[in-house]
Amino acid sequence: MSSISPSPSRRGFLSLSAATIAAATVGAVSSNRAAASSAGLDTAADPRIRRFHVNEPQRKLLELRRRVLATQWPEEETVPDQSQGVQLATMQALAHYWATKYDWRKCEARINSYPHFITEIDGLDIHFLHVRSKHEGALPLLVTHGWPGSIVEQLKIIEPLTNPTAHGGKASDAFHLVIPSMPGYGYSGKPTTTGWELNRIARAWAELMKRLGYTKYVAQGGDWGAIVTEVMAVQAPAGLLGIHTNLPGVVPPAIDAAIQAGNPLPPNLSAEEKRACDQLAFVYQHIAYARIMGDRPQTLTGLVDSPIALAAFMLDHDKASLNSISRTFAGQPGFGLSRDDVLDNVTHFWLTNTGVSSSRLFWENKTPFFAVKGIKLPVAVSVFPDEIYQAPRSWAEKAYVKLLRYNKLPVGGHFAAWEQPQLFSEELRASFRSLR
């Protein structure tokens, strides 16, 4: 979103009129089965798949602005750095921008510019973007976001992946893209009972691809998306040719357990492996946010009642991205995310009231984040330098019996598709070339 210039007709928080407020009486979202035919897609033929359109009521945007402006702030942190979390100055700069300049309608229009849909799978509404390439031989690709990610994370890669000839690629690089919102996230339904853990999500994704008529496809993910994608690969549904991950689960289980327990590591680790262990130890020391979500999601009421609480919790995902986003809001260019990028995602979470429902995925999860899962399908790995750990090739080769590709990138972090969409798209093209 960073490349979009301000629209002269922006309908941001600032330009609200009584007329627009009065007119905004429709629901937040609408889904219309009949409209699906206008998309001209194969999927329109399936009556289970309903066209979807985001149209947030103006009153919700006004209410968000009111809350941001009414924030009760804590005092400043007692350190001059980010070691106590998101600094007050960062949050106040974010709040100021959010309440005075940020324009959700731009993001909404961008999402709506792509065909998106809802279909019920296993009793739950699943929302997904489905963007078909004009190149008929394109390879279908399912991309899964993580936390605190969403479909917003993936918007920048849609054009380069579906329309490669306009973005430095060849027609033979083209993908048909499917980008679902996980259960409890975005415009997907919120489970009301337990059971929507990763295995079930992975099975639902296979059903989604089948329902869309794709008999051969690949899948990709980072963060939770990587784990869902790996679980899909373990399940190996008919049609799944291979996967790509930018957060590979390749840590040998014994080493993973030793790191978590603070026990001595095996003596024969390479320098690269030792570095990965140190990085993972840091992650485990700073993962209390995830453990609270895993143990007490319902206790995080503040995430749905306070926009600033939600924003801060989302900003404080990992050290590198917090540092980068803090620089962005301090007016120093970060390495890929703009203020609008960050707030598109936070606002998406806010307007869908998914702070707690998205957290329940952590509660549901029983799968180790980083440990080897036993995948037999082909796997491609991209290692970004600011990811929470850099998976060594040695571990990747052991974890994935069919390692298609292993590549280290010069820039990029945890939100690779969002931060470095061009590099990321090139990684996917190169990774899956041999599976076409």
Partner 1 sequence: MAITAEKPASSTAVRPFTIETPDADLQDLRARILATRWPEKETVDDLSQGTPLATVQALAQYWATEYDWRRCEDLINSYPHFLTEIDGLDVHFLHIRSPHEDALPLLACHGWPGSIVEQLKIIEPLTNPTAHGGQASDAFHVVIPSMPGYGYSGKPSAKGWGPEHIASAWAVLMERLGYDRYVATGGDWGGQIVDLMGAQAPAGLAGIHTNFPGAVRDDVAAAVFSGSPPPAGLDAEETRLYEKLKAFWATDVFYALEMATHPQSLYGIADSPVGLAGWILDHDATSLALITRVFDGQSEGLSRDDVLDNITHYWLTNTGISSGRLYAENTQSFFGPKGVSVPVAVSIFPGELYQAPRSWAERAYPNLIHYNTLDKGGHFAAWEQPELFVNEVRVGLRSLR
SS3 state of residue 367: coil
Tokens representing residue 402 in the block: 């069919």
Q: How far is the CB of 15 from partner 1 (least distance, A)?
A: 24
User: For partner 1, which stretch binds (CB under 8 A), given 28-36, 291-299, 380-388, 423-431?
Assistant: 291-299
Q: 190 CB contacts (<8 Å, ≥6 apart)?
A: 183, 184, 354, 357
Minimum Å distance from CB 354 to partner 1? Answer: 9
Of 3 and 78, which CB lies nearer to partner 1 in the complex structure? 78
Q: Is 283 in the site for partner 1 (CB under 8 A)?
A: no
Between 76 and 120, name the residue whose CB sits nearer to partner 1: 76
Q: Is 198 in the site for partner 1 (CB under 8 A)?
A: no
Tokens 């699906």 belong to residue:
36
| Number of helices (H), then strands (E), in the chain | 18, 10
**DSSP conformational letter for 297:** G
Q: Does 300 bind partner 1 (CB under 8 A)?
A: yes
Of 261, 267, 332, 366, which lies in the binding site for partner 1, with binding defined by CB under 8 A? 261
Binding segment for partner 1 (CB under 8 A), chosen from 144-152, 202-210, 258-266, 330-338, is 258-266
By CB under 8 A, is residue 59 in contact with partner 1? no
Q: How far apart are CB 223 and partner 1 at their closest, in Å?
A: 18
Residue 366 found at the interface with partner 1 (CB under 8 A): no
Report the residue from 48, 134, 291, 402 that binds partner 1 according to the rule CB under 8 A.
291
> Using CA atoms, how far apart are residues 380 and 219, in angstroms rounded to an integer?
10
Q: How many residues bind partner 1 (CB under 8 A)?
A: 59
Q: Alpha-carbon dihedral of residues 229, 231, 236, 237, nearest 10 degrees?
A: -80
Q: Dihedral sign, CA of 31, 207, 140, 196? A: positive
Got the DSSP string for 130-152?
EE--SSTTPEEEEEE--TT--GG
Among residues 2, 55, 165, 260, the one that binds partner 1 under rule CB under 8 A: 260
- Can residue 289 be called a binding residue for partner 1 (CB under 8 A)? yes
According to CB under 8 A, which residues from 335 to 364 bind partner 1?
A: 353, 355-357, 360, 363
CB of 361 to partner 1, least distance (A): 11
The nearest distance, CB 388 to partner 1, in angstroms, is 15
Rounded to whole angstroms, how far apart are CA atoms 200 and 122?
A: 9
- Residue among 4 and 70 whose Cβ is closer to partner 1: 70
What tokens were used for 148? 């605190």
**Burial readout 40-60 (b: 16 or more C-beta within 10 A, e: otherwise):** ebebbebeebbbbebebbbee
Neighbours of 149 (CB within 10 A): 28
Nearer Cβ to partner 1, position 185 or 214?
185
**37 binding partner 1? (CB under 8 A):** no
Contact characters 62-101, partner 1, x per CB under 8 A:
--------xxxxxxxxxx----xxxxx--x----------
Contacts of 354 (CB under 8 A, 6+ apart): 184, 185, 186, 190
Of 41 and 95, nearer to partner 1 (C-beta) is 95
Query: ω into residue 148 within 30 of 0, thus cis?
Result: yes
* Interface with partner 1 in residues 133-172 (CB under 8 A): none
In this structure, what token pair is assigned to residue 229?
């994608």
Q: What is the CA radius of gyration of the chain?
A: 21
Residue 45 binds partner 1 (CB under 8 A): no
Binding mask 302-321 for partner 1 (x = CB under 8 A): xxxxx-xxxxxx-xx-----
Q: Which of 26-34, 216-224, 290-298, 388-396 is the region at the interface with partner 1 (rule: CB under 8 A)?
A: 290-298
Q: In which region does residue 120 sit, left (phi positive, over 0), alpha (psi from -120 to 50) or beta (all else)?
A: beta
Question: Residue 164: what are its φ and ψ, rounded to 5°?
Answer: -65, -30
Where does this chain bind partner 1 (CB under 8 A)? 70-79, 84-88, 91, 190-194, 257, 260-263, 285-286, 288-289, 291-292, 294-306, 308-313, 315-316, 353, 355-357, 360, 363
